[in-house]
Amino acid sequence: MTPVTDEPLRIAMLAPVTWPLPPEGYGPWEKCVWTLTEELVARGHKVTLFAAAGSRSSAELVSTVPHPFECWPRAEGQATARLDPASGLLVGPPDLRAWEQLHIATCMEAVRFGTFDVVHSHLHVHALVFSRLIPCPMVSSLHGAAWVKALHPIFDRYRDQPYVALSEAEKQLKPDLHYVATVHNGVRLEDFPLSTEKEDYLLFAGRMSPEKGPAEAIQIARLAGRPLRLAGMIEPQHEEYFNARVRAHLDDKWVTYLGCLSQRELAEQYRRAAAVLFPIHWCEPCSWVGIEAQASGTPIIGTRLGYLPELVRDGETGFLVDTIEQAARAVDRLDEIDPRACRANVEARFSAQTMAEGYEAVFRRLAGRTAEPAPRELAGQPA
Amino acid sequence: MTPVTDEPLRIAMLAPVTWPLPPEGYGPWEKCVWTLTEELVARGHKVTLFAAAGSRSSAELVSTVPHPFECWPRAEGQATARLDPASGLLVGPPDLRAWEQLHIATCMEAVRFGTFDVVHSHLHVHALVFSRLIPCPMVSSLHGAAWVKALHPIFDRYRDQPYVALSEAEKQLKPDLHYVATVHNGVRLEDFPLSTEKEDYLLFAGRMSPEKGPAEAIQIARLAGRPLRLAGMIEPQHEEYFNARVRAHLDDKWVTYLGCLSQRELAEQYRRAAAVLFPIHWCEPCSWVGIEAQASGTPIIGTRLGYLPELVRDGETGFLVDTIEQAARAVDRLDEIDPRACRANVEARFSAQTMAEGYEAVFRRLAGRTAEPAPRELAGQPA
């Protein structure tokens, strides 16, 4: 950790509340917020973290919602709405939308009546709607949210607010926003130690959704004649896809599904894998999978899409491909890759420290500015 | 209309955006906002109305969302989320939650940078989360929202904000809020002319949901030996209820379903009905049905619950009952009711004018006050 050379910054960190901080398994946005917060505190900044109860942090923690949404007590979360004769009220599941709004408002009220240099929001449009009502600048990390076209009209109204893209590629999802920096996600290097001893299997890690390409990973492994392990969560909307395109191929020998692993278990898989397959179909802004695998000294074979050309040095830390056949042929060239080059790549550009330095520079540039309204935007008509 | 005796008020009127203003058929909250706004403008106040495009108003209209949510173009609203290869974006239905937030934020930004005496919100918790960030008071009409117990923790955080209940009964849904007034809904008397000539049939009007009691209305009409007409929308979540408890009894002679009527069609039904049955099971805050029926000179036979004891003068403008049998016996006593007494009741206490006078008094009391934060509420921990 590097001591701050300038005055410490007073940062209001607005986390998502879907998972606790740090997340146990899945939770890429929360992982970014937690890692960044720990690093900023270590560097001497005064960070106030607004997050769900059950989170832990070295920063001052303000718990805004009683449970992370994915950890809400099951009985309460799955209750069916019904008229309760005793109270006369409609009882049912929690209103998570309203809770999230309260979460954001709690941060905005603290910012309004406290003294902060900057708000760092990880809740995109849902926080942006507050951005002109507070006396200090709000910078938003996109986390891929601009992928959802339905949100573009809202982004348009807050186009002039400062944004951080997680990769150069991410900017293409909505090129006309006011980007003040690109800051890659960065891992805690100690959590993903380098290993130069690799086994034979290929690994796919990530949500089991079509745009992530687990089905294509199976095709690649088949063509290359290697065993494949798959790890990652199955979202309800993708169960049908998983059953048809993944589960149908599981045989516990050539193709194995490991379930949704903890960070420690996944680190172990990265460490021993011959390569991580990342045959994505969308503009992946900056997944942790590629970075964590590279930190472990493991090459990536992935689509020339999203942040991969920014992460993978083709032929040196992995291979960028355009087709399944190219990916399979790349498997035969894995002995060209030096695990130490993968590790060095992450140490130089994708560490918690480089991430914190990137955001620190953004915060310093913005600190002290007020959130000026753009008068032409105030007439009320959407652009 | 009464001319203002004091200075005109500058009012930011924050409407719901589910239906256009005025609504064609269903849309009770929108009807309240539209009727009130028209009356306030007629009384000389400067009202800026924040509402969905497609609304009309005598006030200055700021259109915040391109369509009322229930009128969103069908092809767009029912689109399935999918990756669009051309743009690389996830295309799908509009994000109505984000649009509603933008709607509210547009009003809040105008309030912050403009000069308003008061904001009148009809969006309960979703607007309340902005209430401490603006420089003028926000008063919220409840419209029954506190019925939903899941919203209580959010209301608790904004307990000290000023609230208007639509009836004394409504306060029981959440007794510990800071109520500054009770203001009943009020109809435009010209839209519901008095008729003293009644036919034989009974009428049920309202959503076809269990708490409104259409099934009980059928039982009452059967016991009383009268034909029953039912009018009102069927919400998707209540289709099963409707099919089992209502549709099964339709015979186009004794029990008839008229569908979801326009205001004009419904007014015609009120005018000719022997009585309106209102066998509710919940704390109805202030439905338009009872008021409009009474304006038309039509008695109510309804549960001694919600706002009904405030509207119905038992034995004079209708009958308050506790059981289906009592309701059926009340049908035999309908000739005791003078339609003119029903009309006079509404003229005195439930007209657009009395509603506007009620809100005007609230606005005058609040105008000029700033929205003071309650410091103990700012720590971030939910109560």
Mean pLDDT, residues B252-272 taken together: 96
- Are both A330 and A196 inside the same structural domain? yes
Q: Is residue A266 part of a domain?
A: yes
- Tell me what pLDDT residue A370 has: 57
Contact B150 A84 (CB under 8 A): no
Mean per-residue pLDDT, B260-282: 96
Query: Does B283 reach chain A within 8 Å, measured CB to CB?
Result: yes
In a domain, A330, yes or no: yes
Q: Count other C-beta atoms under 10 Å from residue A135's C-beta.
A: 13
Least Cα separation, residue B176 to chain A (angstroms): 14
The beta-carbon neighbor of B130 closest among A133, A281, A378 is A133
Contacts of A126 in chain B (CB under 8 A): 98, 101
Q: Is residue B195 in a domain?
A: yes
Residue A132: both structure tokens together: 């002109």
A376 touching B, CB under 8 A?
no
Handedness of CA A293, A296, A301, A303 (dihedral sign): positive
pLDDT tens over chain A, length 383 residues = 444 457 899 999 999 999 999 998 899 999 999 999 999 999 999 999 999 999 999 999 999 999 999 999 998 988 899 999 999 999 999 999 999 999 999 999 999 987 899 999 999 999 999 999 999 999 999 999 999 999 999 999 999 999 999 999 999 999 999 999 999 999 999 999 999 999 999 999 999 999 999 999 999 999 999 999 999 999 999 999 999 999 999 999 999 999 999 999 999 999 999 999 999 999 999 999 999 999 999 999 999 999 999 999 999 999 999 999 999 999 999 999 999 999 999 999 999 999 999 999 999 999 976 554 444 444 443 33
Check whether B378 has a pLDDT greater than 60: no
Neighbour count for residue B115 (Cβ, 10 Å):
10
Q: Residue B22, SS3?
A: coil
Name beta bridge partners: B228: B202, B255
What's the CA angle centered on A159, arms A156 and A164, to 5 degrees?
125
Say if B5 falls within a structural domain.
Answer: no
Q: State which residue of chain B sits closest to A76, comparing Cα positions.
A: B150
Residues A134 and A32 both lie in one domain = yes
- Tokens representing A321 are 């491909």
pLDDT at B369 (0 to 100): 67
The predicted pLDDT at position B6 comes to: 76
Task: Tell whether B253 and B369 lie within a shared domain.
Answer: no
Chain length of chain B: 383
Which tokens in the block code for residue A273? 């894998």
CA distance B253 to chain A (A): 32
Nearest CB to A149 within list B62, B91, B106? B91
Chain A positions touching B379 (Cβ under 8 A) are 62
CB contact under 8 Å between A105 and B66, yes or no, is no
CB contact under 8 A, B281 and A87: no
The CA distance from B296 to the nearest CA of chain A, in Å, is 30
Angle at B367 between CA B365 and CA B368, to 5 degrees: 120
Q: How many Å apart are CA A328 and CA A216, to the nearest integer?
A: 11
Could you say which of A110, A151, A157 has the minimum Cβ distance to residue B95?
A151
**Residue A379: per-residue pLDDT:** 41
Give the number of A-B residue pairs with CB atoms closer than 8 Å. Answer: 161
Query: Nearest CB to B109: which of A84, A88, A132?
Result: A132
Beta bridge partners of A14: A50, A121
Phi-psi region of B380 (alpha: psi -120 to 50; beta: other; left: phi over 0): left
CA atoms within 13 A on the CB side of A93: 13
Quote the CA–CA distance of B39 and B355 in Å, as a whole number: 9
Instruction: Tell me what pLDDT residue B380 has.
Output: 42
User: Is residue B319 classed as helix, strand or coil in its secondary structure?
Assistant: strand
Three-point CA angle B107, A162, A305, nearest 5°: 120
Contact call for residues B136 and B109 (beta carbons, < 8 A): no
Partners of residue B84 in chain A, C-beta under 8 Å: 149
Contact state of B125 with A101 under an 8 Å Cβ cutoff: yes
Tell whether B87 is within 8 A of chain A (Cβ): yes
Q: Does A92 touch chain B (CB under 8 A)?
A: yes
Does any CB of chain B come closer than 8 Å to the CB of residue A89? Answer: yes
Q: What is the CATH number of the domain that holds B56?
A: 3.40.50.2000
Residue A175 identity: P
Nearest to A154 among B88, B102, B104 (CB): B102
Q: What is the largest CA-CA distance in chain A?
A: 71
Strand bridging mode A82-84 / A89-91:
antiparallel
- Within an 8 Å CB–CB cutoff, is residue B212 touching chain A? no
Residue to mutate among B106, B143, B283, with most A CBs inside 10 A, is: B106
B135 close to A (CB below 8 A): no
Give the mutation candidate from A133, A305, A372, A377 for the B interface (greatest B CB count, under 10 A): A133
Q: Do B382 and A109 touch (CB under 8 A)?
A: no
The answer to the question of residue A78 being in a domain is yes
* B15, B120 Cβ separation under 8 angstroms: no
Return the closest-CA partner of residue A66 out of B130, B105, B173, B156. B156
- Which parts of chain A fold into alpha helices (H)? 28-42, 74-77, 96-113, 124-128, 152-157, 214-224, 239-245, 263-272, 288-295, 308-311, 324-331, 339-349, 352-366
Residue A90's closest chain B neighbor by CA? B148
User: Are residues B213 and B116 part of one domain?
Assistant: no
A111 touches chain B (CB under 8 A): no
How many whole angstroms separate alpha carbon A78 and alpha carbon A96?
Answer: 12
Chain A residues whose CB is inside 8 A of the B94 CB are: 150
Contact indicator for B341, B312 with CB cutoff of 8 Å: no
Max Cα–Cα distance, chain B, nearest Å: 71
CA B137, B138, B139, B145 torsion-angle sign: negative
Instruction: Find residues 258-277 of chain B whose CB sits inside 8 Å of chain A.
Output: none
B287 and B179 belong to one structural domain: no
User: Residues B361, B270: one domain?
Assistant: no
Cβ-Cβ contacts under 8 Å, B154 against chain A: 95, 98-99, 101-102
Amino acid of residue B72:
W
- For residue A108, what is the nearest residue in chain B, using CA coordinates? B133
Mutation for A interface: B80, B125, B133, B237, most A CBs within 10 A = B133
Q: Which residues of B touch A130 (CB under 8 A)?
A: 105, 130, 133
Same domain, A207 and A313: yes
Question: Residue B299 belongs to what domain range?
Answer: 189-350
Residue B374 confidence (pLDDT): 42
Predicted pLDDT of residue A1: 45
- A178 C-beta neighbours (distance < 10 Å), count: 10
Burial class (CB in 10 A: 0-12, 13-18, 19+), A156: middle
| Shared-domain flag, residues A26 and A97 | yes
Both A164 and A297 in one domain: the answer is no
Dihedral angle sign, alpha carbons of residues B72, B78, B83, B85: negative
What's the distance, Cα to Cα, between the start and end of chain B in Å?
44
CB–CB contact A89 B129 (8 Å): no
The token pair that represents A128 in the structure block = 């942006």
* Chain center to CA of A56: 18
Measured between CA atoms, the residue of chain A closest to residue B150 is A94
Kindly determine whether residue B382 and residue A64, on different chains, have CB atoms separated by under 8 Å.
yes
For residues A344 and A357, state if they share a domain.
Answer: no
- Which residues does chain A have within 8 Å of residue B106's beta carbon, measured at their own beta carbons? 380
Q: Is residue B261 part of a domain?
A: yes
- Segment B157-177 shows an average pLDDT of 98
Cβ proximity of B170 and B148 under 8 Å: no
Does residue B22 have a cis bond before it (omega within 30 degrees)?
A: yes
Quick one: three-class SS letters along B188-214?
A: CHHHCCCCCCCCCCEEEECCCCHHHCH
Q: Which of residues 346-365 of A touch B (CB under 8 A)?
A: none
Q: Does B77 touch chain A (CB under 8 A)?
A: no
Q: What is the 3-state secondary structure (H, E, C) of A265-277?
A: HHHHHHHHCCEEE
CB contact residues (below 8 A), chain A span 152-191, against chain B: 153-154, 157, 172-173
What pLDDT digit, counting tens, does each position of B75-93 carry? 898 889 999 999 999 999 9
- Does residue B191 have a pLDDT over 90? yes
Q: What's the first-to-final CA gap in chain A, in angstroms?
A: 45
Number of domains in chain A: 2
Please judge whether A83 and B210 are an interchain contact, meaning their C-beta atoms are less than 8 angstroms apart.
yes
Same domain, A154 and A204: no
Confidence of residue B113 (pLDDT cuts 50, 70, 90): confident
Dist CA A223 CA A141 (whole Å):
39
Q: Which of B98, B150, B382 lies closest to A92 in CB terms?
A: B150
Q: Which helix (H) or strand (E) holds B96?
A: helix B96-113
Residue B311 has pLDDT above 80, yes or no: yes
Q: What is this model's ipTM?
A: 0.92
Nearest-by-Cβ selection for B154 from A102, A133, A378: A102
CB contact under 8 A, B92 and A132: no
Query: How many whole angstroms separate alpha carbon A293 and alpha carbon A296?
Result: 5
Report the chain A residue with the minimal C-alpha distance to residue B76. A150
Judge whether A1 lies within some domain.
Answer: no
Q: What is the pLDDT of residues A285-335, one digit of tens each?
A: 999 999 999 999 999 999 999 999 999 999 999 999 999 999 999 999 999
Residue A59 domain flag: yes
Q: Do B64 and A382 touch (CB under 8 A)?
A: yes
Beta-strand relationship, B228-231 and B255-257: parallel
DSSP A128-195: HTTGGGSSS-EEEE-TTGGGBGGGHHHHHHTTTSEEEESSTGGGGGSTTSEEEEE----B-GGGS---
3-state secondary structure of A377: helix
pLDDT at position B257 is: 98
To the nearest whole Å, the CA of B199 is away from the closest chain A CA by: 35
Q: Are residues B206 and B218 in the same domain?
A: yes
The pLDDT of residue A25: 86
